[in-house]
């Protein structure tokens, strides 16, 4: 079960999750965050399967401090096709307000 630890201050909603996903993906793909549209598919962005695993590990690391036990299930990975899918998944899993 994912539990908010309350260790972080400040609002954390969907916009922050989107920013986090875009930033992580930008680091992995060595591109600017501005080039990553919310509706873009991972395929179109050039993210292969290993890049997606990198993204998953980065998100788990970044969100682990705020939401104890946060983990992206490997079975769910196949359903994440776009940046929006990933953001929606994190929002849903953490109970973050939209």
Partner 1 sequence: MVEILDGLPVAVDAMGGDRAPVEIVTGARQAAQELGIPVLLVGDPAYLSTLAPQPGVDILAASEVIGMDEDPGRAVRVKRDSSLVRCAEAVREGRACAMVSAGNTGAAMASALLRIGRLPGVSRPAIATVIPVPGSTPTILIDSGANVDCTAPMLVQFAQMGWALATERFGIREPRVGVLSIGEEATKGNALVKEAHVLLEGGAAGPDVHFIGNVEGRDVMSDRVDVVVTDGFTGNVVLKTLEGGVKAVVGGVLSALTADAAIKEAAKAVLPALTPLANELDPDTYGGAVLLGVEGVCVISHGSSGARAILNAVKVAHHAAADKLVARIEAVIASGRA
Residue 91 contacts residue 37 (beta carbons within 8 Å): no
Residue 61 contacts residue 23 (beta carbons within 8 Å): no
User: Integer distance in angstroms from the first to the last C-alpha of the chain?
Assistant: 20
79 lies in the site for partner 1, by CB under 8 A: no
CB of 43 to partner 1, least distance (A): 9
Enumerate the β-bridge partners of residue 67: 4
- Tell me whether residue 48 is one of the annotated catalytic residues: yes
> Binder to partner 1 among 2, 4, 26, 29 (CB under 8 A)?
29
What one-character DSSP code corresponds to residue 41? Answer: B
| Among 11-19, 32-40, 50-58, 83-91, the segment contacting partner 1 (CB under 8 A) | 50-58
69 lies in the site for partner 1, by CB under 8 A: no
Cα 36 to Cα 41: distance, rounded to the nearest angstrom:
9
Which tokens in the block code for residue 1? 């079960």
Count of residues engaged in binding partner 1, rule: CB under 8 A: 14
40 lies in the site for partner 1, by CB under 8 A: no
User: What does the binding site for partner 1 look like in residue numbers (CB under 8 A)?
Assistant: 28-30, 46, 48-54, 56-57, 74
- Catalytic annotation, residues: 48
């Amino acid at each position: 079960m994912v539990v908010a630890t309350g260790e972080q201050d400040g609002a954390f909603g969907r916009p922050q999750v989107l920013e986090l996903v875009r930033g992580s993906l930008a680091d992995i793909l060595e591109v600017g965050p501005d080039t990553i549209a919310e509706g873009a598919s991972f395929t179109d962005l050039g993210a292969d399967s290993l890049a997606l695993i990198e993204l998953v590990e980065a998100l788990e690391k970044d969100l682990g401090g705020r939401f104890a036990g946060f983990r992206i299930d490997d079975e769910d990975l196949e359903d994440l096709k776009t940046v929006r899918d990933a953001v929606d998944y994190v929002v849903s899993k953490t109970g973050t307000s939209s």
